């Protein structure tokens, strides 16, 4: 069994877009796309974890029921999609987690750092998750990219601690679920979704999922809500490189995800953890 997380965020949340936006308040559009995302999961009989940007629940509280009533899980993706190293103190982050847990009645057991920004400067995050009774994290990409990555991290799930982000520690309380990676032209690269889903040939992604399955551990996959609903994604003027990362093959993501969901079995993090007990 593999694991699917949907990073549920609006068009103005991605880090590469945020830096081009002048004002702070934007009209949310993603609510128009939630039915389409839930339908995609329903027709493929898949449950998923929705890593929610918390402020979307403040705009539209019904979102929570729509996700839960359809058998999916809610997890935390910060309140405003902030990089972890942008918090001026661990307490500021903890206030957000407490706020989110109030909004969701403590349903969230998992976390994903925006832009996979968990690294050695922000490892205090693990202690805050523990303290607030979180069970798992999925913020580690075991490959080096321009924007993120912990290339020496394990590929299979492990117990993570503040002192050791990349290897299993038996006394760790938080389960880390690293994102799917693969070898491509002799280099370790991400293959677990997003830009890499849009850009890599599907055959390469399928082979990497198969090799994880053969080794008996889950391929952890992610997709952004806005990649599944490009019709609600405005085109922002940005540098050529940022534009490529944000918009390249955007209209192919839905079809590729659909094909993967038809060929492989995915479930939510919580279901996966419950089933492996």
Shortest Cβ distance from residue 235 to Zn ion (Å)?
19
Taking the least distance from each CB to Zn ion, the nearer of 162 and 224 is 224
Shortest Cβ distance from residue 210 to Zn ion (Å)?
27
Q: What residues contact residue 148 under an 8 Å CB cut-off, 6+ apart?
A: 115, 116, 117, 119, 141
Shortest Cβ distance from residue 8 to Zn ion (Å)?
8
Taking the least distance from each CB to Zn ion, the nearer of 53 and 153 is 53
Shortest Cβ distance from residue 11 to Zn ion (Å)?
12
Taking the least distance from each CB to Zn ion, the nearer of 50 and 161 is 50
Q: State how far Cα 176 lies from the chain centre.
A: 13
Shortest Cβ distance from residue 256 to Zn ion (Å)?
19
Neighbouring C-alpha atoms within 13 Å toward the C-beta of 54: 25
Shortest Cβ distance from residue 77 to Zn ion (Å)?
6
Q: Please report how the helices 202-214 and 253-263 are oriented relative to each other, as an axis angle in degrees rounded to 10.
A: 30
Alpha-helical regions (H) of the chain: 15-18, 34-43, 55-59, 62-69, 90-103, 124-131, 194-199, 202-214, 225-228, 240-247, 253-263, 269-275
Binding site for Zn ion (CB under 5 A): 7, 9, 114
Task: Please list the residues that pair with 136 across neighbouring strands.
Answer: 110, 175
With contact defined as beta carbons under 8 Å apart, do 93 and 87 qualify?
A: yes
Taking the least distance from each CB to Zn ion, the nearer of 114 and 192 is 114
From CA 100, how far away is CA 193, in angstroms rounded? 26
Q: Which residue is nearest to Zn ion (CB)?
A: 7
From CA 206, how far away is CA 85, in angstroms rounded? 33
Taking the least distance from each CB to Zn ion, the nearer of 161 and 222 is 222
Taking the least distance from each CB to Zn ion, the nearer of 6 and 273 is 6
Task: Please list the residues that pair with 221 across neighbouring strands.
Answer: 4
């Amino acid at each position: 069994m593999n694991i699917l997380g949907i990073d549920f965020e609006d068009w103005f949340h991605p880090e590469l877009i945020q830096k081009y936006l002048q004002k702070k308040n934007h009209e949310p559009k993603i609510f128009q796309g939630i039915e389409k995302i839930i339908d995609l999961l329903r027709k493929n009989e898949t449950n998923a974890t929705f890593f929610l940007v918390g402020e979307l629940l403040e705009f539209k509280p019904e979102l929570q029921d729509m996700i839960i009533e359809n058998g999916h899980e809610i997890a935390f993706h910060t309140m405003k999609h902030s990089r972890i190293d942008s918090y001026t103190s661990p307490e500021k982050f903890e206030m957000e987690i407490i706020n989110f847990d109030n909004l969701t009645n403590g349903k969230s057991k998992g976390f994903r750092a925006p832009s996979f920004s968990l690294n050695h400067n922000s490892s205090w995050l693990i202690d805050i998750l523990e303290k607030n009774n979180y069970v798992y994290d999925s913020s580690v990409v075991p490959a080096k990219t321009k924007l993120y990555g912990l290339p020496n991290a394990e590929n299979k799930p492990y117990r993570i601690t503040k002192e050791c982000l990349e290897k299993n520690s038996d006394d760790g309380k938080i389960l880390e679920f690293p994102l799917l990676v693969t070898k491509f032209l002799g280099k370790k690269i991400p293959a677990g979704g997003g830009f890499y889903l849009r850009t890599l040939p599907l055959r390469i992604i399928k082979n990497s999922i198969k090799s994880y399955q053969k080794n008996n551990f889950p391929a952890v996959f992610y997709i952004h809500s806005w990649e599944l609903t490009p019709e609600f994604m405005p085109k922002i003027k940005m540098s050529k490189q940022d534009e490529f990362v944000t918009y390249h093959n955007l209209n192919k993501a839905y079809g590729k995800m659909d094909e993967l969901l038809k060929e492989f079995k995915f479930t939510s993090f919580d279901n996966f953890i419950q089933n492996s007990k």
